Amino acid sequence: MTTGEIHVPRVRAKSHRHYITVSTVCSGAPVERISRTAWYYYEMPSKRSGRPYVPGITEALLQAAERIMTNEGYSALTIDSLVNEVSTTRPTFYRRFPNISHLALEVIRIRFGTGSSVDTGSLHGDLLQLQRDEVAMFSSPLIRNTLPGLLEAIHADSAVRALYESQLIGPRRANVERVIGNAIERGEVDEQQVDIEYVCDLLFGPVLVRALLPVPAGLDDRLARQTTASAVQTLRASTTVAQ
């Protein structure tokens, strides 16, 4: 090998630094030799840097998703349709949401929150207000058109199921538990006889059935009043038995 000739037998990457083997001198300038080979590195831009974060893309994806979920249903919600509508890319979507199911749950969380914090002063009044909010949510086109397909994803994906429980179901059951706790403090029910999970099932079960199944009865205020009455009767009956 002659002076000024550079031999580059290999290039390896480590933390985005590329190392080049230099075996001799460059243009007559001496280079320190280490066993006839010296290692030098130079910085190169990472190929994985991607596009910069663009504010507003997340909101645009959420708005487009809500429109599709409301008008066309969960089955029409695809990554390709969303990125085309928002004029973005699939990698941009995945930087914000792991999958379509996570996006759909985020749309629902933003639209309906985690339920109401109520304190009417009575067990019946508190449960009725909570139940009216639930009926309004599950009777909305957004939920009725989304829930059947979303439940399939919830059953198939444990991560989606955990998110569904923590963001949608868990907070609403916690609201019921708080209401019952207040009723216990007022002496309306006996703490020892309360089965909160069963009461939650009495409240939410009929609402879910009517939201998912093509039954003739509707999701309306009558259902809110009936389910509330059943839950209150169950709680007071348990208290009577205990006494």
How many helices (H) and strands (E) would you count in the chain?
10, 3
Could you report the per-residue pLDDT of 53-76, keeping only the tens digit for each?
Answer: 556 999 999 999 999 999 999 999
* pLDDT over 90 (residue 193): no
> How far is the C-alpha of 73 from the C-alpha of 66, rounded, in Å?
9
Share of the chain above pLDDT 90, in %: 67
Q: Is the pTM value of this prediction over 0.85?
A: no
Nearest Cα residue to 102 out of 83, 136, 139, 77: 77
* pLDDT given for residue 77 in this prediction: 96
> How far is the C-alpha of 44 from the C-alpha of 177, rounded, in Å?
57
Count Cα neighbours of 175 within 13 Å in the Cβ-side half-sphere.
24
* Of the listed ranges 95-99, 151-155, 190-194, the one predicted with least confidence: 190-194
Alpha helices (H) along 157-216: 158-164, 170-186, 196-212
* pLDDT over 90 (residue 133): yes
Nearest Cα residue to 200 out of 221, 170, 236, 242: 170
Count Cα neighbours of 233 within 13 Å in the Cβ-side half-sphere.
8
* pLDDT given for residue 53 in this prediction: 55
> What's the mean per-residue pLDDT of the chain?
81
What domains does the chain contain, in order, with CATH numbers? 11-43 (no CATH), 57-107 (1.10.10.60), 112-242 (1.10.357.10)
**Residue 171, φ and ψ in degrees, nearest 5:** -60, -35
* pLDDT given for residue 25 in this prediction: 35
* pLDDT over 60 (residue 29): no
